[in-house]
Structure 1
Amino acid sequence: MTDTTRGVLFPERLPRLTRLAPPPAAAELTAWFWIPQWDLPEGMESRQQVLSYPAANLVIEPDGVTLWGATTRATERVLRGSGWAVGALLRPAALARLSSAPSDLVDRFIALDEQSLLAAVSDAMPDGAAAAAVVARWLVDRVGPVTSEGRLANTMADVLMGVPAPTSPAILRLDDAAEHLRVSVRTLQRLAHRTVGLSPAAMIRRRRLQEAAQRVREDTDASLADIAAELGYADQAHLANDFRTVLGLSASEYRSRS
């Protein structure tokens, strides 16, 4: 399973976070479940900054059920008091059945009128595994059988995010991704638009920035120039620009704060 801190900009600030693999029946619908739980002293707050995966999330919290589209920027949530959430990182095959226009959800969310799901998850908490099982069953029932296009979209997302073989050289060009999937570049672009809402290039950029943030944070002996070269950036300035545009700070500033 992917590193549980990938995309989390400041892991030391995390509340208790459980990440669970889906059961086999839901494996084509969700990559994993993420379940934060927190109980902070009065007057204390925890700021959670996340560079999310280029994917949608189904989120159940005590006050409702929401469907969040893919994001193009880093997000922040301030936690206070006590609470919980049960989230499912959706695979494209699921999102395409839950939303008729994934591109309209980019950087947005919609509330879902799913009171029975909310009640069942609330009853299961604080047992995260039981709550995730409830959401998995709901997804299987709601989405139904996965189509051939849904499976192709899942494979596309895996290829663009480096999931199948993380130790192999990452695919950094659309031509290479299209060749790997045995489709045209135009078909790849249309598939991503219909099932994720982002372009394939945007998905590759997000994965690369996630990897860069993790390397900058953890591999303090590596120079920023070396990290930029290893991850396919044109140069260190390109890496710096990506950090400033999406995260609002330079790579060196991020390293000093981590």
Structure 2
Amino acid sequence: MTDTGDSRGLLYPTRLPTFRRVPAPDDLTDVVRWFWIPVWRLAPGRTSRQNLLPFPASNLVVQHDGTVLSGPTTSASYRDLHGHGWAVGTLLRPAGLAGIHQAPKEIRDIEIGFEAPGLYESIRAAMTDPGNVAGQDLAVEHYCRWLREHLLEPDETALLANTMEDVVSGDRSVLRVDDLAERLAVSVRTLQRVADRYVGLSPLAIIRRYRLQEGAARLRAEPDTAVGDVAADLGYADQAHFTSDFTRTLGMSPTAYRRDQRDQRGVSSEVDASGGERSPDPS
């Protein structure tokens, strides 16, 4: 079962607006990892910056103003929230993306408008009261119905791509492309083709993303653990290699990220009556 409590990818969890993850029903777990639903209502002039180190995957997102397909990213990213709004998104599995876009590397680091007749209208109708959980659940039901009607049954290669994702996500000892190819009993060349077709990133980029997500989560949860120990636990040869990867991807060193976390814990977020976060300061 997918762990919807997985905090990897959220660089500053305390800055999140009201946020839910809903697991995919059993018949859709090959195409969707989970549904995610943020709802926000910020005071005039306020901004809430959401910093992310996204999963190496794509998302299909119905927003209050349209539907977008967000491709895989090569670095950390952020989104500034203003005013009020909502979204109902799906974190797509590799096999799910294959049924939506044929060349995921073409949407790397960008999002594009997506034509999904009936999907936007049904979800917008369900989200007339965004903070209402029953309405959110109805939106997910509409989303599931659309996916069942529009996505084909994954073929063997698509399921291999899912297995690749599962192995990298669940086994931190996988650090090299050779390791992953051996675990899947395929050649490195086959692995490269599968990653390119179903994810849009190289196998090495997928591996590094999961390891860096885990590293960020450790730095956040264990403020007294030495950076070198985190690097060693993640299989890095030394602290310098971990620091180099971390800084190149997140734009800051592990030490700077940890310092930001300590500063963030000293700032309390207000929550308004609707349940939306009010960020205390533009960040």
**Same fold per TM (> 0.5)?**
yes
Equivalent residue number for residue 270 of structure 2: none
Superposition CA RMSD, Å: 1.3
1:181 aligns with 2:184: yes
2:172, 2:211 within 8 Å by CA — same for their partners in 1?
Answer: no
1:161, 1:203 within 8 Å by CA — same for their partners in 2?
Answer: no
Equivalent AA in structure 2 for residue 130 of structure 1: L
1:4, 1:19 within 8 Å by CA — same for their partners in 2?
Answer: no
Equivalent residue number for residue 240 of structure 2: 237
Please give the alpha-carbon distance, in whole angstroms, between the structure 2 residues aligned to 1:89 and 1:12: 21
Equivalent residue number for residue 165 of structure 1: none
Equivalent residue number for residue 78 of structure 1: 80
Please give the alpha-carbon distance, in whole angstroms, between the structure 2 residues aligned to 1:213 and 1:239: 11
Equivalent AA in structure 1 for residue 53 of structure 2: L
Q: Which runs of 5+ in 2 are unaligned?
A: 262-283
Alignment of 1:156-235 (within 5 A): 156-162=164-170, 170-235=173-238
Please give the alpha-carbon distance, in whole angstroms, between the structure 1 residues aligned to 2:178 and 2:6: 30
1:48, 1:79 within 8 Å by CA — same for their partners in 2?
Answer: yes
1:18, 1:128 within 8 Å by CA — same for their partners in 2?
Answer: no
Please give the alpha-carbon distance, in whole angstroms, between the structure 2 residues aligned to 1:7 and 1:216: 13
Equivalent residue number for residue 135 of structure 1: 143
Aligned with 2:152 (options 129, 144, 150): 144
Q: Classify the secondary structure of the residue corresponding to 1:98.
A: coil
Q: Classify the secondary structure of the residue corresponding to 1:227.
A: helix
Report the alpha carbon displacement of residue 170 of structure 1 after superposing the two structures with TM. Answer: 3.0
Please give the alpha-carbon distance, in whole angstroms, between the structure 2 residues aligned to 1:88 and 1:69: 12
Please give the alpha-carbon distance, in whole angstroms, between the structure 2 residues aligned to 1:214 and 1:2: 15
Aligned with 1:32 (options 34, 38, 53): 34
1:225, 1:235 within 8 Å by CA — same for their partners in 2?
Answer: yes
1:46, 1:79 within 8 Å by CA — same for their partners in 2?
Answer: yes
Alignment of 1:36-55 (within 5 A): 36-55=38-57
Equivalent AA in structure 2 for residue 74 of structure 1: A
Alignment of 1:3-42 (within 5 A): 3-42=5-44
Please give the alpha-carbon distance, in whole angstroms, between the structure 1 residues aligned to 2:92 and 2:173: 22
Indicate the larger mover: 26-35 or 112-121. 112-121
Report the alpha carbon displacement of residue 57 of structure 1 after superposing the two structures with TM. Answer: 0.3
Render the CA deviation track for 1:213-246: whole Å, top value 9, x for unaligned.
0111110121001111111122111122122211
Please give the alpha-carbon distance, in whole angstroms, between the structure 2 residues aligned to 1:13 and 1:169: 27
Q: TM-score, normalised by structure 2?
A: 0.86
1:161, 1:207 within 8 Å by CA — same for their partners in 2?
Answer: yes
Q: Classify the secondary structure of the residue corresponding to 2:49.
A: strand
Name the % identity: 48
Please give the alpha-carbon distance, in whole angstroms, between the structure 1 residues aligned to 2:22 and 2:203: 27
Report the alpha carbon displacement of residue 26 of structure 1 after superposing the two structures with TM. Answer: 1.2
Q: TM-score, normalised by structure 1?
A: 0.94
Please give the alpha-carbon distance, in whole angstroms, between the structure 2 residues aligned to 1:21 and 1:232: 30
Equivalent residue number for residue 125 of structure 2: 123
